[in-house]
Structure 1
Amino acid sequence: MIDALAKFVLGLPGWVALAFVFALPGLESSAFVGFVFPGEVALILGGVLAAQGAIPLWAVLAVGFLGAVIGDSVGYAVGHRYGRPILDATVGRLVKPDHVDRAERYLAERGGKAVFLGRFTAALRVMIPGMAGMAGLRYRVFLAYNVAGAAGWVTLSVLLGYIGGASWKHVAHLASRIGLGALAVLIVLAVLPLVWRRVRRASWLRRLAEHPLPRGLERRFPRSTRWLTQRLDPRVRSGLPATIAAVVLAAATWTFLGITQDVSAGEGLTRTDPGVHTWVLAHRTQALDTFFRLTTHLGSTIVLVPVLVVVAALLTRRRRTPVPAVAAFVVFGAAMLLHALVRQLVHRARPPMSDWIAPASGFSYPSGHTTQAWAAWGLLALFACVYGGRRLRPFAITAGLVIGVVVAASRVYLGVHWLTDVLGGATMSVALLALASLVWLLLAPSERPLDHLVEPLPTEDPAGERTRQGPQERHGPDPAAGL
């Protein structure tokens, strides 16, 4: 059905096609058409028509944006007026009332993020506007996030169609995969806080300790059991946070060494390099050439060094600690030093120069731009996690990952690196970031910027009254506090 409708749309006159691009995103959440025909398909087809010269690109972006904003506003009004009766008559029969009330309270208080992020997933894009109206989210808040989400979603979908051109079916499939991936990420982000709240209370440790098997192991191996318990304690930096950093360090190091071994021996993962390179050459377009020529500079020292210097200087001055400046110098400097050392040891040749569409020099493995991008933007994300607010963290981590992936993809697309070159550079930088995090967790306990993650545990005083204790009260004085 979608193929037949798409062929029909691609054959429409320009102004009729623009009306279709306006109507479908508008009806997606207001009339629930999105359950049958996702709105991004209309936007992608509009981009294809713009690439063919049938309609202007700016017109597709404008009508698609207006349709998305107006349609979601209508969906908000329908949910505000009729949402609760509809819910009680359908899904509400299968869901507990307190769960529905809890969801409404969440959307009323923090629904702006759900409106923005839900825009990029087909299922949530249909339901979120009506749910936000039903929950009583203020319309000016809804409108602000609705406009921001619509701008990003419409631009991404239209440009995918414009770049993909005749391969719009593959682009639409890619867009649906992106939507499913975004939905999975949102589910994980919704579940993780619940899991983390349970973990940080350490109640699972108490229940585990009361089990007969751990008690028997504790009696038989007291020192080993005590050490393991301390490594899994989420209330102190040297516990679960340091254990996670150590696991990431070991995994990234092992992966980097494995890739390096394959590159040196010309076996294993390197056998996929020629096929990936050939596929990239066959799918180059003028728009992608321009995009990746620009984004690859996000991994160059000309951009990264000034950014790191400014951020480290501001944090050092504001926090009155040299840790940000030292971390920026050590991590980024170590990444550049290791890149130069490994490059000279491996001596790997680049792809044929006739395939390059960007300047490059030196040996190929590991990719310098990728190494620097993952080290620098990853370090900035760590700064945001340690010194920034709780709302900043997911956006900082997402931005760091997206920029790192885009820079790595640009080096492969521009023809100056093999796939394993960028994988090696990325894993090497991740290992450096994990090592820096582990060192900071173990050697810098006095700053304690992670204390707000620890939830005091309920205990009983001698009189039998329940009190709240923080980690210092439970563990006694910090032996490293004087460092």
Structure 2
Amino acid sequence: MIDSLDAAVAFLLNHRSFIWLAIGLLAFGESLAIAGAIIPATPILLLLGTLLGRGLIEPTEAVPPAIAGAIVGYWASWAIGRRLKSRIYRAKSLAARRRSVARVRLFLSRWGGPSLVIGRFMLGPLQSMLPLVAGAGGMGPRRFHVWNIVSAFVWVPIVLAPGYLTGRGLVSTAMGRDVVMYLTWTLATVSVAAIFMMLVPLLRR
């Protein structure tokens, strides 16, 4: 796995025109229903954060395509769920994951639109099922698109932050995990809370 990542990084650094495409597809796959539970995108994005911190790739090469990929991945999942509605739960790929689907449905029922933001951090591989279930459950376009865009703009910088801080040398490798994860979760919590307070009143009008 590590050797494969090193080879992929070396290839991208030697073929910089492919960086934006690779990162966009990576974020897309992470956000696409079912595929997001298979593609190990988060560790790779953490590695990309390290490359950003070391100055090996530019923020403009990584952040915009990652945000775009995350938005499109969630949108595609939502569109599938909206089209198939309750039929998605009879699909073989989901029938074998009934407990996971039930957990996602309960999470969505509890948090509503903000679950698209919170779930990216709290549900792990299951987060890619959120937009699928939201579409099947009838979440409207306006509400979905607002929270989808917000989730991408919050998730990408925060998931890149641990690697970036380590790459900049602001945190040593030995203590990096605990300190950076604490800072990351604090930032995520504050960001989600602030966005929630600003957007919920607007979406209720």
Aligned length, in residue pairs: 172
- The 3 A distance-change label for structure 1 pair 55 and 132 is same
1:119 match: secondary structure = helix
Match of 1:59 among 58, 61, 74: 61
1:76 CA displacement: 0.7
Q: Please list the CA deviations of residues 256-313 of structure 1 after superposition, one character each: whole Å capped at 9, or x if unmatched.
A: xxxxxxxxxxxxxxxxxxxxxxx979758xxx8xx9xxx9xxxxxxxxxxxxxxxxxx
Match of 1:40 among 34, 39, 42: 42
1:20 CA displacement: 1.4
Q: Distance in 1 between matches of 2:95 and 2:85?
A: 11
Q: Please list the CA deviations of residues 417-461 of structure 1 after superposition, one character each: whole Å capped at 9, or x if unmatched.
A: xxxxxxxxxxxxxxxxxxxxxxxxxxxxxxxxxxxxxxxxxxxxx
Q: Distance in 2 between matches of 1:107 and 1:157?
A: 22
Structure 1, unmatched stretches of 5+, are 168-278, 296-393, 397-483
Q: Distance in 2 between matches of 1:281 and 1:60?
A: 23
Partner of 2:202: none
- The 3 A distance-change label for structure 1 pair 77 and 57 is same
Q: Distance in 1 between matches of 2:3 and 2:174?
A: 28
Q: Is the 8 A contact 2:37 2:126 kept in 1?
A: no
Match of 2:21 among 7, 19, 22: 19
Partner of 2:189: none
1:159 CA displacement: 2.1
Give TM-score, length-normalised by structure 2: 0.68
Q: Please list the CA deviations of residues 81-135 of structure 1 after superposition, one character each: whole Å capped at 9, or x if unmatched.
A: 235323124445896xxx97xx49x847952022111111322321101111111
Q: Please list the CA deviations of residues 48-79 of structure 1 after superposition, one character each: whole Å capped at 9, or x if unmatched.
A: 22233332123311111111111110111111
Q: Distance in 1 between matches of 2:173 and 2:129?
A: 40
Letter in 2 for 1:40: T
2:154 match: secondary structure = helix
Letter in 1 for 2:37: F
Q: Please list the CA deviations of residues 325-364 of structure 1 after superposition, one character each: whole Å capped at 9, or x if unmatched.
A: xxxxxxxxxxxxxxxxxxxxxxxxxxxxxxxxxxxxxxxx
Letter in 2 for 1:141: R
Q: Please list the CA deviations of residues 214-233 of structure 1 after superposition, one character each: whole Å capped at 9, or x if unmatched.
A: xxxxxxxxxxxxxxxxxxxx
Q: Distance in 1 between matches of 2:96 and 2:58?
A: 48
In the TM superposition, what are the counterparts of 1:213-228 in structure 2 within 5 Å?
none
Q: Is the 8 A contact 1:44 1:157 kept in 2?
A: yes
Q: Is the 8 A contact 2:36 2:126 kept in 1?
A: no
| Larger relative helix fraction | 2
CA-atom RMSD, angstroms? 3.7
Q: Distance in 1 between matches of 2:97 and 2:35?
A: 23
- The 3 A distance-change label for structure 1 pair 71 and 62 is same
Q: Distance in 1 between matches of 2:97 and 2:145?
A: 31
Give TM-score, length-normalised by structure 1: 0.31
- The 3 A distance-change label for structure 1 pair 94 and 46 is closer
1:166 CA displacement: 9.7
1:41 CA displacement: 2.5
Q: Please list the CA deviations of residues 371-402 of structure 1 after superposition, one character each: whole Å capped at 9, or x if unmatched.
A: xxxxxxxxxxxxxxxxxxxxxxx949xxxxxx
User: Which runs of 4 or more aligned residues in structure 1 lie more than 3 Å from their structure 2 counterparts after TM superposition?
Assistant: 89-95, 106-110, 279-284
Q: Distance in 1 between matches of 2:96 and 2:133?
A: 16
1:155 CA displacement: 0.3
Partner of 2:118: 117
Q: Is the 8 A contact 1:18 1:46 kept in 2?
A: no
Q: Is the 8 A contact 1:14 1:54 kept in 2?
A: no
Q: Distance in 2 between matches of 1:24 and 1:151?
A: 16
Letter in 2 for 1:119: R
Letter in 1 for 2:132: G
State whether structure 2 residue 5 is matched by structure 1 residue 6. yes
In the TM superposition, what are the counterparts of 1:11-410 in structure 2 within 5 Å?
11=10, 12=12, 13-30=15-32, 32-90=34-92, 91=94, 103=105, 107=108, 111-120=112-121, 121-165=123-167, 395=193
Q: Please list the CA deviations of residues 218-250 of structure 1 after superposition, one character each: whole Å capped at 9, or x if unmatched.
A: xxxxxxxxxxxxxxxxxxxxxxxxxxxxxxxxx
Q: Distance in 1 between matches of 2:78 and 2:42?
A: 20
Letter in 1 for 2:9: L
- The 3 A distance-change label for structure 1 pair 79 and 282 is closer
Q: Distance in 1 between matches of 2:37 and 2:173?
A: 36
Q: Is the 8 A contact 2:108 2:134 kept in 1?
A: yes
Q: Distance in 2 between matches of 1:94 and 1:63?
A: 30
Structure 2, unmatched stretches of 5+, are 187-191, 195-205
Identity %: 27
Q: Distance in 1 between matches of 2:54 and 2:67?
A: 21
